């Protein structure tokens, strides 16, 4: 009888121990993301639709199943060549963003290119406040004016629910005929102190609204003679070291990310900056000790797609230190891109081509940034 009681007690203790372990394992599974979910947080995509009913089931499934960590908004569909994408008017846009956030278990990055001037998705014709270009503000060189427009812009984004702005452009206007920067008024000027002063005011206004500002286009696109949207842009013969100064100075501020450029600069490395460990990791991470978010420029752009296959682009950009893999779905359209990215990156982690620790680094930066803007 005595031994039977002891046996029963031991069995009960073992069952309790196993239940406790199972509870802990369940908590760990629920409390820690899978590899696929961590990769999903690194993905930002574009999509079509003015309201949630128009957004495809595929895109909504990606959001609901944590295959994307962010969305980027456009007002013009380049593939369809029509001004019918995500933005119609303020009321419509605010509801769209609210509905998208409600479809996600985790807080989404909602991003936009809202520099002002030519790069202006929230146009006055849609009912948004009028904006001016960086060139206008730099030439006026009145910080109060810059503060007015920056504060107006940040308040508008905040009201809509947008929490990442791919601005300010801090490229130096070294080549005024540059087709993608100087010629269309995107630079505050050629002087580093002018660019830093105005960009600082811009960043401060967005900080107040808990919006991440994104410095672009690292390591400097202002001296280029070509547009990296359409093919190889080699700035080796034109780039100047002072183009790094605004990035290095402004990266020390809170709620600031950096967007990489797909430019080739043989003074620094032989591959496009977005894919260069030598440029991104050694300069930004190791030398500057920057631990904020690094966004790729659109990885659908010709400057990288004409040179490398899909898997190589992913591997090189992640190895280099990019946290957010941006596929705008506006130079080509592929709603299955998140699934393809996750499958490719997960496979590379399994084979040891990319370390899981490297994925975890980006995941932790993303979660930290999201906690600061909620």
Task: Give the active site residue among 77, 227, 229, 234.
Answer: 229
Q: Residue 25 pLDDT > 70, yes or no?
A: no
Q: What is the arithmetic mean of pLDDT over 319-345?
A: 97
- pLDDT tens track for 94-123: 999 999 999 999 999 999 999 999 999 999
Task: Give the active site residue among 171, 297, 319, 323.
Answer: 297
Helix (H, G, I), strand (E, B) or coil at 363: helix
Q: Residue 330 pLDDT > 80, yes or no?
A: yes
Residue 302 confidence class, pLDDT cut points 50, 70, 90: confident
pLDDT of residue 31: 63
Q: Is 221 a catalytic residue?
A: no
Q: Is 227 a catalytic residue?
A: no
Least confident of 39-43, 149-153, 270-274: 270-274
List Cβ neighbours of 255 (8 Å cut-off, separation of 6 or more). 203, 206, 207, 210, 211, 212, 213, 369, 372, 373
Q: What is the arithmetic mean of pLDDT over 362-372?
A: 98
pLDDT of residue 15: 39
The kind and range of the H/E element at 338 are: helix 337-351
Q: Residue 294 pLDDT > 80, yes or no?
A: yes
Cβ–Cβ < 8 Å for 131, 186: no
Q: Residue 28 pLDDT > 50, yes or no?
A: no
Cβ–Cβ < 8 Å for 154, 209: yes
Q: How many CB atoms lie within 10 A of CB 40?
A: 24
In which order are the strands placed within the sheet that holds 212-218? 294-295, 256-260, 212-218, 164-165, 109-112, 70-72, 43-46, 325-327
Cβ–Cβ < 8 Å for 210, 156: no
Q: Residue 287 pLDDT > 70, yes or no?
A: yes
pLDDT of residue 299: 95
pTM of the model: 0.90
Q: Residue 364 pLDDT > 50, yes or no?
A: yes
The sign one gets for the Cα dihedral 286, 289, 295, 301 is negative
Cβ–Cβ < 8 Å for 205, 151: yes
pLDDT of residue 306: 86
Mean pLDDT of the chain: 91
């Amino acid at each position: 009888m005595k031994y039977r009681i002891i046996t029963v007690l031991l069995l009960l203790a073992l069952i309790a121990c196993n239940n406790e372990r199972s509870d802990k394992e369940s908590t760990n599974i629920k409390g820690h993301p899978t590899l696929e979910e961590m990769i999903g947080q690194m993905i930002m995509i574009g999509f079509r639709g003015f309201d949630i009913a128009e957004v495809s089931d595929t895109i909504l499934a990606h959001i609901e199943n944590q295959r994307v960590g962010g969305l980027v908004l456009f007002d013009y569909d380049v593939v369809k060549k029509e001004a019918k994408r995500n933005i119609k008017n303020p009321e419509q846009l605010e509801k769209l963003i609210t509905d998208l956030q409600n479809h996600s278990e985790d807080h989404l990055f909602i991003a936009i290119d809202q520099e002002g001037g030519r790069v202006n998705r929230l146009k006055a014709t849609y009912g948004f406040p009028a904006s001016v270009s960086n060139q206008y503000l730099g030439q006026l060189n009145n910080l109060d004016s810059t503060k007015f427009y920056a504060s107006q812009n940040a308040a508008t984004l905040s009201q809509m629910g947008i929490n990442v702005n791919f601005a300010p452009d801090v490229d130096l206007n070294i080549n005024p005929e540059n087709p993608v920067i100087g010629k269309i008024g995107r630079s505050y000027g050629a002087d580093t102190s002018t660019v830093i002063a105005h960009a600082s005011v811009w960043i401060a206004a967005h900080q107040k609204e808990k919006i991440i500002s994104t410095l672009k286009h690292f390591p400097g696109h202002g001296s280029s003679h070509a547009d990296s949207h359409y093919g190889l842009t080699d700035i080796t013969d034109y780039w100047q070291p002072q183009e790094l100064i605004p990035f290095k100075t402004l990266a020390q501020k809170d709620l600031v990310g950096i967007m990489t450029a797909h430019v080739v600069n043989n003074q620094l490395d032989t591959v496009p900056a977005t894919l260069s460990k030598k440029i991104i990791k050694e300069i930004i991470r190791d030398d500057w000790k920057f631990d904020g978010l690094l966004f790729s420029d659109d990885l659908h752009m010709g400057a990288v797609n004409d040179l490398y296959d899909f898997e190589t682009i992913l591997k090189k950009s992640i190895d280099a230190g990019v946290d957010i893999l941006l596929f705008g779905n506006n130079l080509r359209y592929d709603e299955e891109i998140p699934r393809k990215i996750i499958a490719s990156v997960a496979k590379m982690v399994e084979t040891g081509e990319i370390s899981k620790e490297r994925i975890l680094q980006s995941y932790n930066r993303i979660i930290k940034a999201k906690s600061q803007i909620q």
